[in-house]
Amino acid sequence: MSRNLLLASLLFSIAFPALSQTEAGTIKISRGDARIVRGADTLPAAVGSSVFVSDSLVTGTDGAVGLTLRDNTRLTAGPDTTLDLNTFNFDTTTHVGEVDASVTRGSLSVISGKIAKASPNGVKFNTPTVTLGVRGTEFIIEVDAPVEEQ
Amino acid sequence: MGVLLAPLFGIYLMIVFSAPPEAPPPAVTDTIVLLPDEDGRVGSVVVTSASGGEQTLDTAYATVDVNEEGVLEARVEDPATIQAQYGALLSATPPQPKSFTVTFEAGSSDQLTPVSLRTIDELKEFLQGRPAPEISIIGHTDRVGSDADNDVLSLARAKAVQQLIEQMGVEAQSLESSGRGEREPIVATADKVSEVRNRRVEINIR
């Protein structure tokens, strides 16, 4: 029974890949004119809004938007910015994954998260002229010591 | 497991565009600046242009200018200039994800250690100012008892903490609990050993 269900859901997700939309993160800070562009739709980038793979964040002159991805990567788009989230996948157990985003205009600040530590070649940002590969440092692998509340 | 609790050794970088003026020499189109993270650590970023140029940034405030011909030029930016120029951008950065840990009395799924009761108070205060908090709660046990019982106990501990958070009156964006049994100890022990540091629940807030 449960195997049939599993099979059915597998077949379903193969047949309708567009329905298995990947949630990449959540808007935490929103100022001024800040929007999420999803296909043909434009939604306000309100605090608490989910951001999915293939979404774009677009800000106006007075806008800024801060987004935390599921691996704790933090992206901040400044005024007059377009940020396209091309790829995001993240294994919550191994922390292996990929982040790929493009800035076509404006400004973006990035604080890398768990993926940059577990998948040093998995984090990529693009502008129209350059590609940035974000590598972690060796510090990142330190870990087995018990960590106090941070 | 340790990775989950590791402090965020973030890498900050910034990408900024300016409108290219018409007059030669080739105008700068992109600027990339590597910043130290909140803990003062500096990561590294490799910048590659379509025309084959490559620069590695690995010191604080190391900067690369990209001109319209795709040529990369390295320099070092002044911290005060960065603050003046990008202060508004940086001030919209989401708050740093944070973890709390509480510990339990032996065998109990609802009795926190005295020090952890204070942690719960701190957690409540912390959550007040947090925008759209996504909270993940993970329960653990020490190695007293069977694996199966500990799976149940670890989840019960996580659920108990979830209930405490629900009673705090904070509006969580999401709140989920899971149990990891005895398989991810903070302190490695032999089987059947009672260890308070392992009888814990981690609360991760994004």
ipTM summary value: 0.84
A145–chain B Cβ distance below 8 A for any pair: yes
Look at residue A103 and tell me whether its pLDDT is greater than 70.
Answer: yes
- B59 and B119 fall within a common domain: no
pLDDT in tens, A46-82: 999 999 999 999 999 999 999 999 999 999 999 889 9
**Does B143 map to a domain?**
yes
Chain A residues with CB under 8 Å of B132 CB are: 26-28, 47-48
Q: Pairing between strand A97-105 and A123-126?
A: parallel
B143 lies in the same domain as B201: yes
Identify the band that residue B152 occupies on the pLDDT scale cut at 50, 70 and 90.
very high
**Listed residues B38, B59, B90: the one ending a domain:** B90
pLDDT above 70: percentage of residues in chain B: 89
CA atoms within 13 A on the CB side of B64: 26
Bridge-based pairing of strands B12-17 and B54-57 is unpaired
pLDDT of B169-186, one tens digit each?
889 999 999 999 999 999
Asked, for residue A58, whether it belongs to a domain, the answer is: yes
Assess whether B111 and B186 both reside in one domain. yes
Nearest Cα residue to B88 out of A59, A142, A85:
A59
Contact flag A147-B3 (C-beta cutoff 8 Å): no
Convert the pLDDT of each residue in B21-55 to its tens digit.
555 677 778 888 888 888 888 989 898 988 889 99
Residue numbers of the domain that contains B103: 95-205
Beta bridge partners of A89: A98
Residues from chain A contacting residue B161 (CB–CB below 8 Å): none
Q: How high is the mean pLDDT of chain A?
A: 81
What CATH number corresponds to the domain at position B171?
3.30.1330.60
Domain assignment of residue B154, yes or no: yes
Q: Taking CB atoms and an 8 Å cut-off, how many pairs form between chains A and B?
A: 179
A96 Cβ under 8 Å from any chain B Cβ: no
Report yes or no on A136 lying in a domain: no
- Flag if A28 and B95 touch (Cβ within 8 Å): yes
Query: Residue A140: inside a domain, yes or no?
Result: no
From the list A66, A127, A143, the residue facing B15 with the nearest CB is: A127
Establish if A73 belongs to a structural domain.
yes
List the 53-82 stretch of A: residues with Cβ below 8 A of B.
Answer: 64-68, 70, 72, 74, 76, 78-79
CA A39/CA A54 separation, integer angstroms: 8
Residue B1 falls within a domain, yes or no? no
**Considering the domain boundaries, does residue A76 fall inside one?**
yes
CA distances from A72 to A44, B26, B76 (A): 22, 38, 28
Q: Pick A108's closest partner by Cβ from B15, B68, B95.
A: B15
Same domain, B131 and B187: yes
Using an 8 Å CB-CB cutoff, list chain B residues near A130.
30, 32, 47-50, 66, 70, 72
Instruction: Provide the number of structural domains found in chain B.
Output: 2
What is the count of structural domains for chain A?
1
CA distance A83 to chain B (A): 11
B 151-170 residues inside an 8 A Cβ radius of A: none
If asked whether residues B24 and B110 sit together in one domain, one would say: no
Return the SS3 of B86: helix
Starting at the edge strand found earlier in the chain, the sheet holding A123-126 runs: A41-44, A34-38, A56-59, A82-90, A97-105, A123-126, A130-135, B44-49, B54-57
**Which residue among B52, B74, B90 closes a domain?**
B90
Domain boundary among B57, B90, B123: B90
Chain B residues inside the 8 Å CB shell of A135: 11, 43-46
Please check whether residue B15 lies inside any domain of the structure: yes
pLDDT, average across residues B90-101: 94
What are the DSSP E strand ranges found in chain A?
23-31, 34-38, 41-44, 50-52, 56-59, 64-69, 74-77, 82-90, 97-105, 107-111, 123-126, 130-135
